[in-house]
């Protein structure tokens, strides 16, 4: 019986693919689910697996472009016996050894889809594979990391078996989309996986050794590479390919540059003068690189622009003498850490101060919802943290009811999780007011952007000693500029200025925080 293998659908907008390379030759015997060739689209590279065991008959060659649904090869399922006869005694013994040395395939293939990671999240980006294609994975072992527009999640294996990648790093997948397959095995890692990896490595060495040979693929660009070369206005003939048999890959196209125009010939007598006038050659790298924006970075960018366009944002400034807080910290920081196991920082003072001021000026703690204003009796304070993948804003819930110790511990916990990309969606949603501290990076003054749908954000800056007039005398004091950005649609000037003055008052006399006055 002859089974036709057709080009599968690999994406909604993809209508054709190109055969990158055949891993199996015409006439070879292939196993079910064995990777037989590599297909390239203008977006990604995919692997094509055998749908049955038998003898392979190819219908298209490397470099051919086929439409979705076209026949790419046939598998003669009755040709198994003939193929076995052609194998050497050594080759026939290998499957037996692999079965006796380890677990065997059950024939079941587990398809893993993108799980639901939050109510408002409809798609994720595959950040990186932690397990390579063809690796043996165990149940619940972490195999990949996926990014959403809010957080990073780990993807655990749903069965024991051999991992087969379907999506590539950087691909954006919808919730429920197929991300990988697992060829289920029993009895532990199959010994054949080692021989597979050896075969794969030998195949790579064969392809690298044959890259110098002139074949049909030499100088031929993949669809993605051809698109990039067309945009740059380059001829594939001027680009050297590093792929198999000299094939031009996407990376080759991205690195390719237009050749410098040849200088016009000059008379022989002017050659000496030309050497004198030639520009000096300066040694140094002029490399550049492109990186795809993460989902988090794209979402932050979109929201910040939306806030600028959709709110009547205004910023008011004030300055605060940080001397009293610094003296208080210096006096009690050792006792505080010894008793509570955490440092006494500035953030707890600012959090307590804004909570008092927010309860006195509720409009600063409110938000607009359609044609209504929502006033909050609680203070959920968002803390802006610079994480490796972008800015995140975890929330301290009911900060108005927390002590200095509780606030400091919560700040440390959330900041640590943010830098390790371990924050959950629940820890980053909500919030009624935001604190951002640009001073830790050396910022003297800035105009922070509101964290929608909140109505205000307080920017803290670096502490600088400056001469100040105090009771008719000039004194050197540690001063900090405070910046309150607010939505003028809901917060009037009187409320914003009064709020900031109240925060200044509480910070310059922190004992007020203890007595609530």
Counted residue by residue, the chain has a size of 517
- Active-site hit among 26, 140, 238, 488: 488
CA distances from 152 to 124, 125, 149, 303, 388 (A): 9, 9, 9, 19, 11
Q: Which pair of structure tokens corresponds to residue 207?
A: 């392809």
CA separation for the pair 143, 155 (Å, rounded): 6
Q: Which of 26, 420, 492, 509 is catalytic?
A: 492
* Among 133, 141, 134, 180, residue whose Cα is nearest residue 160: 141
Percent of residues in the chain assigned helix, strand, coil, to nearest 5: 35, 30, 40
Residue 339 has, within 13 A of its CA and on its CB side, a CA count of: 9
CB atoms within 10 A of CB 191: 17
What is the dihedral sign for C-alpha 182, 184, 188, 191? negative
SS3 111: strand
Q: Is 492 a catalytic residue?
A: yes
Cα(392)–Cα(428) distance, integer angstroms: 8
CB 232 within 8 A of CB 250: no
Burial-class residue 80 by CB neighbours within 10 Å (0-12, 13-18, 19+): middle
CB 305 within 8 A of CB 396: no
Q: CA 248 to CA 222: how far, in whole Å?
A: 6
Per the annotation, the verdict on 488 as an active-site residue is yes
- Residues 6+ away with beta carbon under 8 Å from 100: none
CA-wise closest residue to 423 among 371, 388, 460: 388
Query: Cα dist. 362→328, 336, 479 in Å?
Result: 29, 32, 28
Contact 447, 483 (CB under 8 A): yes
How wide is the angle at C-alpha 110 spanned by C-alphas 108 and 116, nearest 5°? 160
What is the number of other CB atoms lying within 10 angstroms of the CB of residue 60? 17
Residues identified as active-site: 488, 492
């Amino acid at each position: 019986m002859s089974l036709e293998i057709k080009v599968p659908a690999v994406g909604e907008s993809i209508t054709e693919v190109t055969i990158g390379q055949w891993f199996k030759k015409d006439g070879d015997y292939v196993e079910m689910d064995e990777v037989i060739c590599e297909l390239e689209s203008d977006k990604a590279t995919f692997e094509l697996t055998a749908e049955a065991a038998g003898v392979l008959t190819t219908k298209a060659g490397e470099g051919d472009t086929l439409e979705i649904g076209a026949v790419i090869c046939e598998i003669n399922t009755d040709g198994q016996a003939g193929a076995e006869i052609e194998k050497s005694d050594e080759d026939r013994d290998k499957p037996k050894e692999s079965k006796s040395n380890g677990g065997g395939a059950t024939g079941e293939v587990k398809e893993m889809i993108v799980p639901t990671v939050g109510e408002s999240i409809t798609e994720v980006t595959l950040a990186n594979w932690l397990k390579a294609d063809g690796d043996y994975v165990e149940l619940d072992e972490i195999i990949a990391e996926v990014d959403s527009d809010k957080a990073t999640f780990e993807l655990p294996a749903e069965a024991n078996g051999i991992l087969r990648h379907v999506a590539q790093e950087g691909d954006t997948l919808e919730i429920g989309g197929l991300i990988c397959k697992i060829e289920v095995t029993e009895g532990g890692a199959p010994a054949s996986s080692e021989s597979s990896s050896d075969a794969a490595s030998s195949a790579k060495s064969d392809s690298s050794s044959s890259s110098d040979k002139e074949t049909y693929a030499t100088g031929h660009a993949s669809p993605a590479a051809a698109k990039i070369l067309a945009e740059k206005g380059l001829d594939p003939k001027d680009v050297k390919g590093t792929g198999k048999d000299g094939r031009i890959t996407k990376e080759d196209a991205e690195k390719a540059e237009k050749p410098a125009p040849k200088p016009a010939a000059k008379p022989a007598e002017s050659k000496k003068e030309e050497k004198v006038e030639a520009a000096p050659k300066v040694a140094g790298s002029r490399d550049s690189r492109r990186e795809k924006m993460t989902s988090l970075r794209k979402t932050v960018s979109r929201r910040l622009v939306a806030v600028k366009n959709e709110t009547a944002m205004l910023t008011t400034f004030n300055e605060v003498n940080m001397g009293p807080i610094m003296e208080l910290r210096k006096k009690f920081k050792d006792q505080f850490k010894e008793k509570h196991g955490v440092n006494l920082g500035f953030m707890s003072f600012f959090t307590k101060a804004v909570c008092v001021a927010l309860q006195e000026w509720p409009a600063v703690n409110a938000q607009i919802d359609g044609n209504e204003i929502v006033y909050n009796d609680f203070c959920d304070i968002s803390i802006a943290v610079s994480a490796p993948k972008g800015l995140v804003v975890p929330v301290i819930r009911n900060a108005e009811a927390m002590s200095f110790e509780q606030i400091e511990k919560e700040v440390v916990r959330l900041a640590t999780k943010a830098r390790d990309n371990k924050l959950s969606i629940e820890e980053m949603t909500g919030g009624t007011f935001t604190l951002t501290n640009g001073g830790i990076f050396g910022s003297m003054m800035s105009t922070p952007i509101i964290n929608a749908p909140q109505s205000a954000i307080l920017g803290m800056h670096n502490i600088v000693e400056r001469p100040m007039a105090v009771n008719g005398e000039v004194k050197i004091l540690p001063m900090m500029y405070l910046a309150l950005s607010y939505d003028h649609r809901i917060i009037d000037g009187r409320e914003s200025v009064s709020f900031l003055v109240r925060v200044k008052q509480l910070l310059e006399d922190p004992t007020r925080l203890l007595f609530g006055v």
